[in-house]
Structure 1
Amino acid sequence: MDDWNDLRLVLAIVRTGSLTSAARSLGVVHSTAFRWLAALEQRLGVRLFERLPAGAYAATSAGARIAEAAERVEHETQALDRDLLGADLRLSGRLRVTCSESVAYSLLTPAVGAFRAVHPGVVVDLLIDNRALSLSRREADVAIRAARPREPALHGRKVADAAWALYAAPALLAVHGPLDPADLGAHPFVGWDADGRGVNSADWLERHVPEAAVVYRTSSVVNQMVAACAGLGVALLPCVLGDAEPRLQRALPEPLSELDRELWIVTHADLRRTARVRAFMDLVGAYLARRRDLIAGSEPAATPPG
């Protein structure tokens, strides 16, 4: 096998478990990936995947062996890529930044505006994803995460404590009365759909709010906020969203200590000296730190209208 693209195809299928998802990750259509895999198997004279029901693909021993080799090649090329980028002293070029939807909505977009005003030569690609994208695999250059980094190869700093609280429209509380922590099921709630599995706020709601009380579900935290503003139900939101929204008020006065987190800005250690990475982390990190009281839920909330 002398074509890195063939290795990438096999690795993508192993990682995603389907040809459709692998094609999407590689930026090709399904039919192209299908012909590509068929030609590769014919050229090698060996079957690389078993086709299972519902479009699933399971690697044969040969496919698994190629995927292992592909991961080693990928690791080396990514390390080389980071080394070269780490020596880049230009304050120009493209910078990939990832964060959650709520951070992008409430904090990062104006911070990027402030950064671009100082460094107009840097183009920022914002990848909004609640998953922790891999900085080692160069899925992003900089990440803003509500968790202390555990990988030894990551470098960054804490910019704030991050708190969550329960919020509702004043009109909803006027109809249903004050929220009773001992009987949350007496109020309608906005919650997560199936995509919320493993999300801390979704797990908290599942433990404390009866399923029958959840009247509206969505995978978007921002849409949960909008639904609460419309009076659909009580929503569990980051304080940086809820406290800044004048159409909402806290349904309980204090943030939920169980959901306390830390907000960090991080990059891979190999990229920390890259000029545009360093400039972004310095400027945007300082911008976020200046808003630490809002992020931590200790800044006075917006006053609801009326």
Structure 2
Amino acid sequence: MAATARITTPFDAESTAAEVVEGIDLTGRRVIVTGGASGIGVETARALAGAGAEVTLAVRDTAAGERTAEDIVATTGNKRVLVARLDLADQASVAAFTSGWEGPLHILVNNAGVMASPETRTPEGWELQFATNHIGHFALATGLHRALAAAGGARVVSVSSSAHLRSPVVFEDIHFRERAYEPWSAYGQSKTANVLFAVEGTKRWADDGITVNALMPGGIRTRLQRYVSEEELERLRAAVAASGEQMSWKTPEQGAATSVLVATSPLLEGIGGRYFEDCTEAELSEPGLSRHGVAAYALDPEAAARLWQVTTETLAA
């Protein structure tokens, strides 16, 4: 398959994670799923464990992680489901996690996130959504680079969102120090950063056999929406309806499908720097005109290289 060909698969918006991974044997593979104790993270981890992988749930709440691990073991019969503490907004926590990891890592699913939170800053003064959704995952992936390289053909899965269509990365004021804070713009630029990470990560790590792809899981009712009121959701539904589209909810099992596809599908062997939705590579979209597709600014190699440099400098400061 030509590297420039758009990837299509037999799966769609209604496919589940279990259907996507059916017939794929992950025995001997080691996986990390951030945010693996809630929402689509649980079903992502369950599907990968069900295929035979050793899965580590990287979570803030280890008690919830242990309960989830017990449930996954009970439903899959795979006892190699582990729990480790990870707070992506706490760089000491990320460093402790990466330094404590031993051996190869075949699949890293950067799934955890925070959406549309009130204005909050980390101790470093970073805006919380960007700090969690991008900087934390960037530090995690780069900290695990050696483990990924050791695996041979490792994959990194960057869970983005259609909300990336709301905002590019505003390099002049990433952390809203000058402009007024707006929760959805902050979320949108963090999700654009998730796609740009896939673009530059694939380029930088090609010689290590590591590929990075981003995806939009779809709309799923989970704790991710804990900061979003029912009134806000209703306004979103009305806006979508006015655009001529429908806002439908996926089950968590369906929401995890694209993550699992990107993590395991033979169709993506050696393919990186792409953005997927509904189990298919997305086409370019014009922000403001659709909730589907990927913005050109999210795939811009110059912006991707700049973001990598800015993030590296931010972490070193």
Would the TM-score normalized by the shorter structure come out above 0.5?
no
TM range (shorter): under 0.3
Task: Identify the structure with the greater strand proportion.
Answer: 1
Give the TM-score normalised by the residue count of structure 1.
0.23
Give the TM-score normalised by the residue count of structure 2.
0.22
Question: Larger Cα Rg: Structure 1 or Structure 2?
Answer: 1
